[in-house]
Structure 1
Amino acid sequence: MDYPNGILVGRAHVPGHAHPRIVTVRGEELFDITAPGMATVRDIAESGRAADHVRTAPGVSLGKAKAVLANSVAAATDAKFPSLLSPIDLQAIKASGVTFVVSLLERVIEEQARGDNSRADALRTEILDLIGMDLSELVPGSEAAMKVKAALIEKGVWSQYLEVGIGPDAEIFTKGQPMSSVGYGAEVGLHPASSWNNPEPEVALLVTSTGAIIGATLGNDVNLRDVEGRSALLLGKAKDNNASASLGPFVRLFDGTFTLETIKNSEIALRVEGEDGFVLEGHSSMNQISRTPESLVAATLGTHHQYPDGLVLYLGTMFAPVKDRDGAGKGFTHKLGDVVSISTESLGTLSNRVNLSTKCPPWTYGSSHLLRDLAKADLL
């Protein structure tokens, strides 16, 4: 199912309006609930009563929700009808990395391969033999983790990724700027310099300026393995490009039946379908995360760093695709036209088609444009 039952909030392009409209799903219909003072997802999140507001706000029907989702697919979009956008607006877009042991090992492999995917298969076997232990049982920053760190340094396989994977400090980085994320059905972008890359299916939390976690959505943290593997200092180039942050289809707000515990026990399914007939499937289990969502939020926001418009935080992924695509030992990389679908029972399905960042629609509508348009419409 593209969207679940629950209290859903998102944004949509609606013909006749210069600015994105705030929408929710009621039954099978999509409703426009944009109102003065509640004309951004940011304002709803910061109100202290987000779920109640979205559930009870007066609205105007935009038609069947499934029809709007169908019209949101880039190749089929008709501008005369509503289409979904990313479900967030003024929030900062943050991400946490190396939060699962499987992705931890793959990041080490990237680093050792120096961006050369032809070496990945052999390095995977070599590194697993050297480590010789199950890192998933380690609590990051614990005394046991520090002993493992010392042992790995002695073996000569220590890595900056092992540091953030089992060390005391989480990796938190800026995935993109406010208003830069794309939504359901949009194209997601790969930097044209990359030849080894992959989707990262993740849950992303909606967090208020006070640090309250009030909802969640699905995300694709598009990753360039060759670029980041050359140097971790290239993280910005590997992670933040046009259309490289996808979120959606909606933010589901927490209520009595959907909570953070639901997220902690979620199973995330990934399916990649290529125009060449290639199919890749995988799953991530959120109960395998090595740092709790609460600890990742605390590492992002607090007295050390404030976000007055709140944030969304990608929680990381345990899925690192290694299935060979173009021959034995070559592993996985995207091809243009791949359709990536990420789904959970509680959050629905986020689907996007892969293109080059230089070929995706350029990001031209920013925070200043939104605020000017809302002011003209007397909605601020």
Structure 2
Amino acid sequence: MDATIIPDGVLLGRAKVPGFIEPRVVTVRDGQVFDITAKGMATVRDIAESGRAAEHVRSASGKSVGAVDAIIENSRTGQTSKNLPALLSPIDLQAIKASGVTFVVSLLERVIEEQARGDKSRADALRTEILDLIGTDLSQLVPGSEPAMKVKAALIEKGVWSQYLEVGIGPDAEIFTKSQPMSSVGFGAEVGLHPISSWNNPEPEVALLVTSKGEIVGATLGNDVNLRDVEGRSALLLGKAKDNNASAALGPFVRLFDGEFTLETVKNSEIALRVEGTDGFVLEGASNMAQISRTPESLVAATIGSHHQYPDGLVLYLGTMFAPVKDRDGVGKGFTHKIGDTVSISTPSLGTLTNTVNLSTKCPPWTYGTSHLLRDLARADLL
């Protein structure tokens, strides 16, 4: 088993398995993928809500559906063989939420996007100008604290206050709906860019699996595909910048907390990103979770509680500190995706999520929703 792609631990995911209409719930044991779908435990949502997710996955009876390496390879191609299972996004009925501007580097890049009004050619000059003007290490500020509010007042006085600075160092986190339940894509799938965008990027992130009670029970990797030019024109276009066909990738599996793998593991993770273009371009970077400015617990609390309930639980992207600025097509032009880019997001505790970039209009359309899943599970007598 390739440990760089599939980590050790208690893994929970979903796969399209030959001979079954409905997606199957799977885990990994001894290099094999096991189908553990069972009546009453036929969705990732059911297992997460059981109160004993890791214990259930460890002990559940199941049947091997193939070697994990072969299934990974089949999933990676994007043109899956009908004779082998292919991985799907490892979540199903959960809401798909995301938090933004949770790292100082991301914060400054969002301010630059806004000031540039979506024009990537202005970004370099603005980056230098804003950094010189701020003159403060924002990474040391606790959002909402008295020192943070003093910095906010100073920035307003200097005329460079931004809505992104508000959510970066202000009292309230930015939480938004990234995508709809059942719409995320998994390992090996294409990720989509809206065709109106000419300045965009991947966002390598950890995503937490959270129950309806607000309990964090596991984590996975995510690509929060972002259209920098669209969001930069107006924050009111966030939905258009973030929620498009195949724009939310998760996987390869959810790793459940089990005592060995915990939230502290997540907090100390370094998330690596590698983009390889068909033009020979390579971009590498990393996002260090230890530098997050709002704790994962506080982001979950901002999402779910007495103010907002999620009966099927949720997945929450935690944000990224990585904002690609490496020039791709010439000096000062910065980074943007090209069709055919391969994006790999990895960390030892969660493995590697790999996807290929295409236009959202060219990716396979999202046609299998919650109603389809429930009907298929009912036909299979799994509800």
TM-score (norm 1): 1.00
Q: Would the aligned equivalents of 1:29 and 1:63 in 2 still touch at CA under 8 Å?
A: yes
Matched pairs, number: 380
- Aligned residue for 2:300? 297
Match of 2:339 in 1: 336
* Alpha-carbon distance in 2 for matches of 1:201, 1:41: 23
Report if the CA contact (8 A) 1:340-1:351 is conserved. Answer: yes
Residue 74 of structure 1: CA displacement?
4.1
Is 1:279 aligned to residue 309 of structure 2? no
Query: Quick one: distance in 2 between partners of 1:262 and 1:73?
Result: 27
**Offset at 1:80?**
2.3
Inter-partner Cα distance in structure 2 for 1:79 and 1:315: 35
Return the match for 1:361 from 357, 360, 364: 364
Whether contact under 8 Å (1:33, 1:57) holds in the other structure is: yes
Q: What's the CA shift string for 1:208-250, capped at 9, x where partnerless? A: 0000000000000000000000000000000000000000000
What is the Cα deviation at residue 79 of structure 1?
2.1
Are 1:258 and 2:261 matched, yes or no? Answer: yes
Task: Identify the residue that residue 224 of structure 1 maps to in structure 2.
Answer: 227
Q: Helix, strand or coil for the counterpart of 2:185?
A: coil
Report deviation, 1:76.
Answer: 4.0
* Separation in 1, partners of 2:315, 2:75: 22
Kindly indicate whether residue 61 of structure 2 is the aligned counterpart of residue 58 of structure 1: yes
Q: Which amino acid aligns with 2:171?
A: P
The residue identity in structure 1 corresponding to 2:158 is K
d(CA) in 2 for partners of 1:314, 1:370: 24
Distance 2:356 2:198 in 1: 17
- The 8 Å contact of residues 14 and 81 in structure 1, kept in 2 or not, is answered as yes
**In 2, Cα distance between the equivalents of 1:308 and 1:75?**
33
* Counterpart Cα distance in 2 of 1:198 and 1:74: 22
| Distance in 1 separating the partners of 2:356 and 2:150 | 44
**Which of the residues 30, 33, 46 maps onto 1:30?**
33
CA distance in 2, matches of 1:70, 1:122: 43
CA distance in 1, matches of 2:66, 2:80: 15
**Which residue of structure 1 aligns with residue 353 of structure 2?**
350
- Contact 2:66–2:84 at 8 Å: present in 1 too? no
Contact kept in structure 1, 2:34 and 2:62, CA below 8 Å = yes
CA contact (8 A) 1:207 1:215 kept: yes
Instruction: Please say if residues 41 and 47 of structure 2, whose CA atoms lie closer than 8 Å, have aligned partners that are also in contact.
Output: yes
Give the conservation status (yes or no) of the 8 Å contact 2:40–2:382. yes
Match of 1:88 among 84, 87, 91: 91
Q: Separation in 2 of the partners of 1:321 and 1:234? A: 21
Write the mapping of 1:109-188 to structure 2, written as runs, cut at 5 A.
Answer: 109-188=112-191
What percentage of residue pairs aligned between the two structures are identical? 83
Distance in 2 separating the partners of 1:91 and 1:39: 14
In the alignment, the residues of structure 2 paired with residue 331 and residue 253 of structure 1 have an alpha-carbon distance, to the nearest angstrom, of: 38
Aligned mates of 1:182, 1:75 — CA distance in 2 = 11
How far did residue 81 of structure 1 move? 1.3
Question: 1:72 aligns to what SS in structure 2?
Answer: helix
C-alpha separation in 2, matches of 1:79 and 1:143: 59
Distance 1:174 1:362 in 2: 19
1:221–1:246 CA contact under 8 A, matched in 2:
yes
Provide the rounded CA distance (Å) in 2 between the counterparts of 1:198 and 1:308. Answer: 32
Structure 2: 5+ residue runs without aligned partners?
Answer: none
Question: Contact conserved, 1:108 with 1:161, CA < 8 A, in 2?
Answer: yes
Contact residue 204 and residue 312 of structure 1 kept, 8 A:
yes
1:378 aligns with 2:381: yes
From 6, 9, 16, the counterpart of 1:6: 9
Query: What is the identity, as a one-letter code, of the residue corresponding to 1:342?
Result: I
Question: Tell me, what secondary structure is at the counterpart of 2:27?
Answer: strand
Q: How far apart are residue 133 of structure 1 and its match?
A: 1.1
In structure 1, what is the equivalent of residue 20 of structure 2? 17
- Aligned to 2:152, the other structure's residue is in SS state helix
Partner AA of 1:378 in structure 2: D
1:73 Cα deviation after fit: 1.9
Using the alignment, how far apart are the partners of 1:136 and 1:75 within structure 2? 40
TM-score using structure 2 length: 0.99
8 Å contact from structure 2 (residues 299, 318) kept in 1: yes
Could you list the runs of 4 or more consecutive aligned residues of structure 1 that deviate by over 3 angstroms after TM superposition? none
CA distance in 2 between partners of 1:250 and 1:16 (Å): 22
Deviations 1:175-233 (A, max 9, x none): 00000000000000000000000000000000000000000000000000000000000
Confirm or deny: 8 A CA contact 2:78 2:190 kept in the other structure: no
Q: 1:215 is matched with which residue?
A: 218
Counterpart CA distance in 2 for 1:228 and 1:34 is: 40
In structure 2, what is the equivalent of residue 194 of structure 1? Answer: 197
1:132-168 Cα deviation digits (max 9, x unpaired): 1110000000000000000000000000000000000
> Which AA in structure 1 matches 2:238?
L
